Homo-oligomer: A and B are copies of this chain.
Amino acid sequence: LNLRSILVLSVGMLLLGGCASESTESQVEAPGLPQELADGAARLRDAALASDEAYATLAELCDLHGHRLSGSDRLENAIDWIADRMRGYGLQNVRKEEVLVPVWIRGEESLRLIEPASHHIAMLGLGGSVGTPPGGIRAEVLRVTSFDDLTALDPTAARGKIVLFDVPYTGYGSTVQYRSRGASAAAERGAVAALVRSVGLDGMRTPHTGALRYDEAVPRIPGAAIAFEDANLMARSLERGDRVVAELAMGASSAPDRISHNVLAEVVGREKPEEIVVIGGHIDSWDVGQGAQDDGVGCILAVEAARLMHALDLHPRRTVRVVLWTNEENGLRGGRAYRDLHAAELDQHVAAIESDSGNGRAQGFRFDLRPAAVDAEEVTPELEAARIRGLEKLRELLVTLSPVGADSVFVAGSGADISPIADEGVPALGVHHDTSEYFRIHHTRADTFDRIDPADLRANVAAMAVLAWSLAEFEGSLRP
Contact = CB atoms under 8 A, between A and B. Distances in A.
Nearest to A448: B229
B59 A229 contact: no
A236 interface: yes
Contacts of A445: 120, 122, 204-205
Contacts of A59: 236
A151 to B, nearest CB: 29
Interface string A41-83: 0000000000000000001100111100000001000000000
A68 to B, nearest CB: 11
A205 B446 contact: yes
Contact of A116 (B63, B288, B449): B63
A63 B66 CA distance: 36
Contacts of A440: 204
A216 interface: no
A203 interface: yes
A interface, size bucket: 35 or more
A448 B228 CA distance: 11
Contacts of A240: 60, 63
Given A122-B445, A204-B444, A450 B229 contact: yes
A232 interface: yes
A288 B236 CA distance: 19
Nearest to A60: B240
A228 B65 CA distance: 19
A204 B441 contact: yes
A393 B284 CA distance: 65
Contacts of A117: 63-65
Contacts of A229: 446, 448-450
A238 to B, nearest CB: 11
B63 A233 contact: yes
Interface string A228-244: 11001100110010000
Number of identical monomers bound together in the oligomeric complex: 2
A9 to B, nearest CB: 20
Contacts of A236: 59, 63, 449
A260 interface: no
A117 B73 CA distance: 12
A470 interface: no
A206 interface: yes
A63 B232 CA distance: 10
A116 B448 CA distance: 16
A240 B63 CA distance: 11
Contact of A449 (B66, B205, B232): B232
Contacts of A202: 450
A165 to B, nearest CB: 18
Nearest to A73: B118
A56 B236 CA distance: 10
A63 B237 contact: yes
A59 to B, nearest CB: 6
Interface-centre pick from A117, A203, A237 (highest chain B CB count, 10 A)? A117
Given A63-B237, A233-B63, A204 B446 contact: yes
A448 B205 contact: yes
A64 B116 contact: yes
A19 to B, nearest CB: 31
A65 B237 CA distance: 12
Contacts of A64: 116-117
Nearest to A231: B450
A239 to B, nearest CB: 10
A163 to B, nearest CB: 21
Contacts of A203: 204
A408 to B, nearest CB: 30
A122 B65 CA distance: 17
A236 B236 CA distance: 42
Contacts of A289: 205
A171 to B, nearest CB: 20
Given A60-B240, A204-B206, 17 more contacts: A59-B236, A63-B233, A63-B236, A64-B116, A65-B117, A120-B288, A120-B445, A202-B450, A203-B204, A204-B204, A204-B440, A204-B445, A204-B446, A205-B445, A229-B446, A232-B450, A236-B449
Interface of A: 59-60, 63-66, 74, 116-120, 122, 202-206, 228-229, 232-233, 236-237, 240, 288-289, 440-441, 444-446, 448-450
9 contacts: A122-B445, A202-B450, A203-B204, A204-B440, A205-B445, A232-B448, A232-B449, A233-B449, A236-B449
Closest 3 A-B residue pairs measured CB to CB? A204-B446, A204-B204, A229-B448
